[in-house]
Amino acid sequence: MNAATRNSWILNAIALAALSAAFLLPIQSGAVNAYIVGLLITALINIIMATSLNLVCGLLGYLALGHAAFMGVGAYAAALVSIHWNVPLSFPLALLVGGIAAAITGVIIGVPALRLRGDYLAIITLGFGEIVRIIMNNMPILGGARSLRGIPRITTVPVAYAVVIICVTLMFTLGRSRHGRAILSIREDEVAATSSGIPVTYYKILAFTLAAFFAGIAGGLYAHYMGVLNPNRFNFDRSIEYLVMVVLGGMGSITGAIIAAIVLTLLPELLRGLSNYRMLIYSLALILMMLFRPDGLLGTAEFSLASIGRLFRRTRRSAQNEGRDHSES
């Protein structure tokens, strides 16, 4: 690790600590009400959903329409662990089991589906999402349409926050390893990737499985926040909602997905005062966004402290260059 890298890690750690303090202190002191807390937890869960879907849609460049189903698998698996298995540390264990269950589902669906390209994969994942929902609806052990009840409500804002930090950090570091580069190269040019020694099928399935894994963890958080699970919560509409977050944030940008997840969770709530018009405004915001920034908020770029520094330096340098040009002429 060279000095610049180390400095940037330290800088980011400090910034993260400051952000955490600013974010968590008001909540710990009880200054905010339950409504806000609920909203925050939903936003945090959505952040994991959007960033994990970004692995498939942004990094791999494949359209997947069944992401909510992985969340559902994770939610039910985690809930069952918590209900039937009363051991110490059962919550982290439950989240992990949720993630692994979703990941296994991801492999099962990914192996046949990822042989297809683009639109076909989208249709397959769509069908898969519906199948999972219907299975959940008809399995007695999952409570079916009458809902699964009695899940301990453990997810608080600090818990969700910690899980988000861990998940997003792992996705970020994975994206910038040889594996992340391999996945990106498939998005850029599949033929060139395979001609450069990248086992394309393996990395497609890896990206898909990792996305499912993190969605499963988000599902576990959700289950332990709601205390009740209903299969209809994981339907097609939800998958689309997560897709919208990724597209709006900029395909391939983790920070973009985070910002979009927060905005799209809070926006409908902030517009609540406008009652009947709020979904209209929400939709209009999306249309305008796509018209004027089709690459999303951040495109494929990442927001970082270092990039702000670079921006300042660049502006200063171009100002200097301009000065020089004038003096020459």
Partner 1 sequence: MNPNPHHLLEINDLGIQFGGLTALEHVTFSMDPGEIVGLIGPNGAGKTTVFNLITGIYQPTIGSITLGGQTLNGRKTYKIFQSGAARTFQNIRLFKKMTVLDNVRIAAHNQMDYNPLVGALRLPGYWRDEADTTYRAMKMLDIFSLTEHAGEMASSLPYGQQRRLEIARALISNPKLLLLDEPAAGMNPTETQALMATIREVRDRFGVAILLIEHDMRLVMGICERLVVLDYGQVIAKGTPAEIRQNERVVKAYLGGSAV
The residue among 60 and 124 lying less far from partner 1, judged by its C-beta, is 60
**Residue 140 sits in the site that holds partner 1 (CB under 8 A):** no
7 forms part of the interface with partner 1 (CB under 8 A): no
1 binds partner 1 (CB under 8 A): yes
Is residue 181 close enough to count as binding partner 1 by CB under 8 A?
yes
Interface with partner 1, residue 119, by CB under 8 A:
no
Q: Does 8 sit near partner 1 (CB under 8 A)?
A: no
Residue 145: exposed, middle, or buried by beta-carbon count in 10 A (0-12, 13-18, 19+)? exposed
Q: Which of residues 269-328 bind partner 1 (CB under 8 A)?
A: 300
Asked if residue 184 binds partner 1 (CB under 8 A), the reply is: yes
At closest approach, how far in Å is the CB of 151 from partner 1?
29
Pick from 30, 88, 140, 197 the residue near partner 1 by CB under 8 A: 197
Q: Which of 84, 178, 272, 324 binds partner 1 (CB under 8 A)?
A: 178
Positions 206 through 245 that interact with partner 1 (CB under 8 A) = 206, 210
String of contacts with partner 1 for each residue 143-172, x by CB under 8 A:
---------------------------x--
Part in contact with partner 1 (CB under 8 A); list of ranges 21-29, 104-112, 192-200, 213-221: 192-200
Q: Name, in order, each residue with C-beta under 8 angstroms of 259's C-beta and a sequence gap of 6 or more.
A: 249, 297, 298, 303
**Residues 28, 196, 315, 320: which binds partner 1 (CB under 8 A)?**
196
Q: By CB under 8 A, how many residues form the interface with partner 1?
A: 27
Q: Could you list the residues that contact partner 1 (CB under 8 A)?
A: 1, 170, 173-174, 177-182, 184-185, 188-189, 191-200, 206, 210, 300
